[in-house]
Amino acid sequence: MLSPDEARQEGERALDLAERFARGEAIEPRTIEDSLMNEEEQGILLHEQRASGTLEQNIWSAVASVVGYAAWAAATARGEPLSALVEYFDLPEAPDVVEEALRTAESSR
């Protein structure tokens, strides 16, 4: 739903990491988390913040939710401490928030 540019490619790479982790591939939690925001302060969270409209905002929110949840799950599975970027996903309502972000993005089309 986004135009084919560098930001979209970055989002697709982040979703690919999340999907690979979900299929059981051993992906480092930090690798997934870096796609949200890395040390150079680049990542999909910036695209979410800079969205030019509601549709774009909803899409980036859904991508960030899925990727953040995957980073949380990867860290939890390895018993690693949670960073500030993903600690929210440790709350019981986190899966519902992810689901709602996906529904909102889908209904925005």
- pLDDT tens track for 21-65: 999 999 999 999 999 999 998 899 999 999 989 989 999 999 999
Q: What is the count of structural domains for the chain?
A: 1
E strand or H helix that includes residue 76: helix 54-78
Q: Is the pLDDT of residue 1 over 60?
A: no
CA atoms within a 13 Å half-sphere pointing along the CA-CB vector of 66? 24
Tell the burial category of 49 from Cβ atoms under 10 Å away from its Cβ (0-12, 13-18, 19+): exposed
Classify residue 20: in a domain, yes or no: yes
Q: pLDDT band for 6, please (50, 70, 90 cuts).
A: confident
Which residues are CB-neighbours of 49 under 8 A, at least 6 positions away? none
Classify residue 85: in a domain, yes or no: yes
Classify residue 1: in a domain, yes or no: no
Classify residue 87: in a domain, yes or no: yes
pTM flag (> 0.75): yes
Q: Given this model, what pLDDT does residue 49 score?
A: 92
Q: Given this model, what pLDDT does residue 61 score?
A: 94
Residue 81's domain comprises 6-108
Q: Is the pLDDT of residue 83 over 60?
A: yes
Q: Given this model, what pLDDT does residue 108 score?
A: 79
